[in-house]
Structure 1
Amino acid sequence: MFKSLLKQLFFVLRIAIAWGLVVILVTALYSAIPIVREYPPPMLILGMGTMVLVIAGAFSHLHRVRLIAGNIDRDALSNRQRRLVEIPLEAGEAFDLLDAAIRELPGIQQVQSARDSLQVKAKVARPYTYGEHPLRRWNPLLWFGLPRNQLQATVTPGEDSGRVTLICEPENPAWSDCFLVDDGSNYENAEAIVRAITRRIGERRRNEQATVVQTTAQKELTEAKLHLLHAQVEPHFLYNTLASAQLLTRSDPERAEVMLGHLIQYLRHSLPNAADEMSTLGAELERALAYLEILKIRMGDRLDVQVDVPESLRATPLPAMMLQTLVENAIKHGLEPRTVGGTVWLRARRDDGAIAVTVADNGAGFTGRTSGSGIGLKNVRERLRLRHGPDANLSVIANFPSGVAATITVPAAATAERANHV
């Protein structure tokens, strides 16, 4: 408390001494003029009135700074304010955020924004803090000097952040600080810009967190839809397979035993992965082949399967049930509607840093009862987007001369990462 009083007293004395020297100088010059030498009382009255107004203005400045800053110290009393702000964003993004914060400052004028040099300069109109007072023009602290402030902000790039150097000062030269006060307006401007930057960073963080939460919710919803779809399809497949095996036990026990063996193989790869998000191309291929072998027994010569998947690509990470969805679509929408059946091709290729897995058929194609763009394919696309973003996709095109070819493309880098973990 005592130190604060000393600082306030020193500030008032500094302003009073500066103006006192000016008054003494003007009085001396006035008295040296021969015509008016015998009339010193007017100068005495003018000098005393000037000093009263100067001291009153200095105390007014102290009062306003205390209201704004909450305390009185050397930095708060200064007409010229400097701030260093660390923004945890890339320099270009930090500059955009700073520029937007400055442009929202009340009274902002003549904003000069240079993104290449990461600099912003502007003028700020100085408000009439207590309105247009009748004695305002007689206040010596306002006799000279421009009624505006100015600011300059520079962003210094860092590794993962941008450091902002903010300077808020009067438009007058530095020597005028001995005679003039800014009523805390530059302190107020500096704090307002810092608050705006902090608010925008907080808003950005909240939006990012909301996006993460939304993405997680979407991912969980997609997985739930997948499990629901799997739960809906699986009983029908199991029922049909068991019913076919029951009939074969009477007419062809050997084929029934083979069908049950493939069913066991299919379930071995299905049940452990029912709640697992990621699998491998090799595991998904074994599941799909077990499924197709069962259908070959049921469909007979109407179904042919061709596989071309290099051993080196079988460790490629692939979401569980994704390949199975494409195979089921090929059977249900491609081959089953045709009396003569057809062929299902399973292929995998490495191409320009990506792995392409294709399920193709020569069935009914897009001219059949369905275009093949139902919930199963929507699920595949959504899961790929959530897992790999724009680096993965699903394309469904017409196969030549008939049928449909569906291709899943995933980043090849994921294969190496998976191998390293194994």
Structure 2
Amino acid sequence: MTSFSFIFRITFAWTLASMAVAVFMAQTLLSHRDSGGMLVLLVLGAMAFAAISAFSHVRRVRLLTGQVDRGTLASRQRRQIEVPFEAGETFDIIDAAIRDLPGAEQVDSARDSLQVRAKIRYLHPYGGGVMWQMTGHTGPSANQVIVTVTPNGDAGSVTLICEPERGAWTDWFLVDGGANLENADAIGRAVARRVAERRRSEQAAAVQSATEKELTVAKLSLLHAQVEPHFLYNTLASAQLLTRSDPARADEMLGNLIAYLRNSLPRTDDALSTLGKELERARAYLDILVIRMGPRLRLQVEVAPELHGAPLPSMMLQTLVENAIKHGLEPKAGGGTVWIIARVVDGVLALTVADDGRGLSGEGGGTGIGLRNVRERLRLAYGNAASFTIVSNYPSGVAATISVPYQRNAAASPVLEKVA
């Protein structure tokens, strides 16, 4: 019924127009004997042309959409599209979709006003032959696309208009062969595809970030559970010897080993530790080495008691201390000093572990896995708000500094500061 009404409307309009022309011609051609027959042929030809044109339009619309109604048969198409991105991103998506449309030319976009206007060259679906143009389609004349993006909170509302570049009154006589319907649907599909790609990219980034975090947590658990065999064996061997010569120092060494092992047990979650707890672990480790290395190892700790409650990722301080011993002081014949210094400057906690050992140019350096792990964990925990630097210490050795946002939301840990 809708198809019949559309064909009848187009045919009726052409009939009225041709009859008006016939009446005008009849008044000016009364002296010609055969003028009546010519006028009848003119009216009948116009009616046939209109009927064929409308029928061809209906068949093409049905081919494009699979259904025929007043909306799909119209030569002027309007769409309202909701895009789940803010207006600026929505504008970029729409602008790219229009520029990629077949036949798009003279695309004028204004990002400040969130508007896009473009001319779309008509592309004949069947080669643009004479018979196709004779069926009433607009032929080589252009269509146009007008888009306005309206901000809607965190989303963008898109008003899309696809229409011929001619007056609206011509819709009573001319059809577009479904060209603007095709353009509107193509832009809608392009927007949907780009939104889906953006969503997939976001999901992939989220999965990658979660995977990296899980991997880092797994590495941290291994780091917690790992006690180097040679460190444990050497400590127990030293304690065994001291039990015969100096039982008091043997008892002190075993107490430090117990404290170190207790603080090195894997945590059940990846919650932040505190500077006080991490300092307690590091001191237990260093006190063991002081007993073993004797005067070759000296410690200087400068951490104010009020900073003990500052949140800090676990095992980071321990990693820096172990690096200072293994790669800085143990290879050095005369040993040296390890400094642990904490300062708060402009809301940033700077924790430095320095030594006067062999330095960055010394032989026997490690693989760097521990330092890479520190950087990666800082990135996952704080993003760009944290940093890690390692530089040469003057006159010798290395200074490594972790900088994180300072917070006062944990109780201080009773760690005794001393110089050995």
Taking structure 2 as the reference length, the TM-score comes to 0.91
* 1:387 to 2:381 alignment: yes
Identify if the C-alpha distance between structure 1 residues 82 and 137 changes in structure 2 by more than 3 Å, giving closer, same or farther.
closer
* Distance in 1, Cα, partners of 2:364 & 2:167: 78
1:16 equivalent among 11, 15, 18? 11
Identify if the C-alpha distance between structure 1 residues 75 and 44 changes in structure 2 by more than 3 Å, giving closer, same or farther.
same
* 1:98 to 2:91 alignment: no
Q: Where does 1:23-422 land on structure 2 (aligned, <5 Å)? A: 23-34=18-29, 37-38=32-33, 39-140=35-136, 142=138, 147-228=141-222, 233-273=227-267, 276=270, 278-370=272-364, 374-412=368-406, 415=407
Task: State the shift of 1:23 in Å.
Answer: 0.5
Identify if the C-alpha distance between structure 1 residues 418 and 252 changes in structure 2 by more than 3 Å, giving closer, same or farther.
closer
Contact 1:248 1:256 in 2 (8 A): yes
Contact 2:217 2:270 in 1 (8 A): no
SS in 1 for 2:265: helix
* Distance in 2, Cα, partners of 1:140 & 1:75: 20
Contact 1:356 1:410 in 2 (8 A): yes
* Distance in 2, Cα, partners of 1:197 & 1:136: 31
* Distance in 1, Cα, partners of 2:230 & 2:268: 16
User: By percentage of residues, which structure has more helix?
Assistant: 1
Deviates more, 1:352-361 or 1:287-296: 352-361
Letter in 2 for 1:330: A
Per-residue deviation, residues 191-215 of structure 1 (Å, max 9, x unmatched): 1111111111111111121122222
* Distance in 1, Cα, partners of 2:169 & 2:309: 74
Contact 2:274 2:410 in 1 (8 A): no
SS in 2 for 1:40: helix
The runs of 5 or more residues in structure 1 that have no matched partner are none
Task: State the shift of 1:132 in Å.
Answer: 2.8
Letter in 2 for 1:45: L
List structure 1 segments (4+ residues) > 6 angstroms apart after TM superposition: none
Letter in 1 for 2:6: F
SS in 2 for 1:365: coil
Identify if the C-alpha distance between structure 1 residues 164 and 236 changes in structure 2 by more than 3 Å, giving closer, same or farther.
farther
* Distance in 1, Cα, partners of 2:115 & 2:233: 71
Identify if the C-alpha distance between structure 1 residues 119 and 36 changes in structure 2 by more than 3 Å, giving closer, same or farther.
farther
Contact 1:273 1:279 in 2 (8 A): no
* Distance in 2, Cα, partners of 1:418 & 1:48: 94
Letter in 2 for 1:44: V
* Distance in 1, Cα, partners of 2:28 & 2:214: 92
Deviates more, 1:128-137 or 1:296-305: 128-137
Identify if the C-alpha distance between structure 1 residues 161 and 254 changes in structure 2 by more than 3 Å, giving closer, same or farther.
same
Task: State the shift of 1:418 in Å.
Answer: 7.0
* Distance in 2, Cα, partners of 1:71 & 1:393: 61
Letter in 1 for 2:64: I
Identify if the C-alpha distance between structure 1 residues 179 and 417 changes in structure 2 by more than 3 Å, giving closer, same or farther.
farther
Identify if the C-alpha distance between structure 1 residues 368 and 137 changes in structure 2 by more than 3 Å, giving closer, same or farther.
closer
Letter in 2 for 1:54: A
Per-residue deviation, residues 38-94 of structure 1 (Å, max 9, x unmatched): 312112112201111211111111111122222222221111111122222222222
Identify if the C-alpha distance between structure 1 residues 63 and 138 changes in structure 2 by more than 3 Å, giving closer, same or farther.
closer
Task: State the shift of 1:33 in Å.
Answer: 0.4
Identity %, equivalent residues: 57
Deviates more, 1:283-292 or 1:204-213: 204-213
Task: State the shift of 1:407 in Å.
Answer: 0.8
SS in 2 for 1:135: helix
SS in 2 for 1:369: coil
The runs of 5 or more residues in structure 2 that have no matched partner are 412-420
Per-residue deviation, residues 321-362 of structure 1 (Å, max 9, x unmatched): 111100000111111122222221112222233222111112
SS in 2 for 1:334: helix
Identify if the C-alpha distance between structure 1 residues 275 and 332 changes in structure 2 by more than 3 Å, giving closer, same or farther.
farther
Contact 1:273 1:320 in 2 (8 A): no
CA RMSD of aligned residues (A): 2.2
Task: State the shift of 1:402 in Å.
Answer: 1.6
Contact 1:304 1:344 in 2 (8 A): yes
Task: State the shift of 1:13 in Å.
Answer: 2.1
Identify if the C-alpha distance between structure 1 residues 141 and 333 changes in structure 2 by more than 3 Å, giving closer, same or farther.
closer
Task: State the shift of 1:117 in Å.
Answer: 2.0
